[in-house]
Amino acid sequence: MKLILLGPPGAGKGTQAEALAKRRGLVQLSTGEMLRAAVKAGTEIGKKADAVMKAGGLVSNEIVIGIIAERIEQPDCKNGFILDGFPRTLPQAAALDKLLKSKGTKLDAVIELKVDDGILLSRIENRVKETLAAGGTVRADDNAEALKSRLMAYYRETAPLTGYYFAKEDLETIDGMAPIDEVARQIDAILAKVAA
């Protein structure tokens, strides 16, 4: 099973991808997590991505496509994967199509988590509070200023992907405002339909 979770920052993609990966034995591929790891490790990619990420911008297509192309070649991706935070631009979506085609495979589903814009800031604020309460480190881009840029990048670059996948008849949209368990149930229902 190969699928994409789409949605703005704070929509719950990471939460759902992590839970779904556990339920189904799939690999969660979060480009955000991979980039944060690269920044922490001080790699060349990390050095290039750091400032852009802190400001809430998008890292170059070239870099993230390269990361994903390499990652999906790994043996643990054979069973399938959940893309969380990739693709984020139309060129990334086109590159993914090409990549999967060259491997003789394709996506099984693209699931959009639809949420009210007004709730996103409070969701990010909650994530910060929960992280701090758990003694964790808050993401450098989880603040009001960077969130504004992340939302602008989302609406400018990523929102058109719903149209792209709708036209390809891959898109399924669910209510991301529902409680976490209910969203998970809706995702499972879509995957059951796809598998049938």
Q: Which residues bind ligand AMP (CB under 6 A)?
A: 9, 31-32, 35, 52-53, 56-59, 64, 85-88, 92, 141, 150
Instruction: Return the number of the residue (152 or 189) whose C-beta is nearest ligand AMP.
Output: 152
Please confirm, yes or no, whether 88 is among the known catalytic residues.
yes
Complex with ligand AMP: residue 47 or 193, whichever CB lies closer: 47
**Residue of minimal Cβ distance to ligand AMP:** 32
Residue 139 annotated as catalytic? yes
Burial class (CB in 10 A: 0-12, 13-18, 19+), 56: buried
Active-site hit among 48, 71, 114, 127: 127
| Six-digit token string for 10 | 């704070």
Q: Which secondary-structure segment (H or E) carries 114?
A: strand 109-114
CB of 115 to ligand AMP, least distance (A): 14
CB 179 within 8 Å of CB 118:
no
Instruction: Out of 88, 98, 101, 193, pick the active-site residue.
Output: 88
Known catalytic membership, residue 24: no
What b/e sequence results for 2-24 when a residue is b if at least 16 CB atoms lie within 10 Å of its CB, and e otherwise?
A: bbbbbbbbbbbbbbbbebbbeeb
CB of 31 to ligand AMP, least distance (A): 3
114 part of the active site: no
130 vs 134: CA distance, rounded Å: 6
Q: Does the annotation count 36 as an active-site position?
A: no
Tell me which residues are annotated as active site.
13, 88, 127, 139, 150
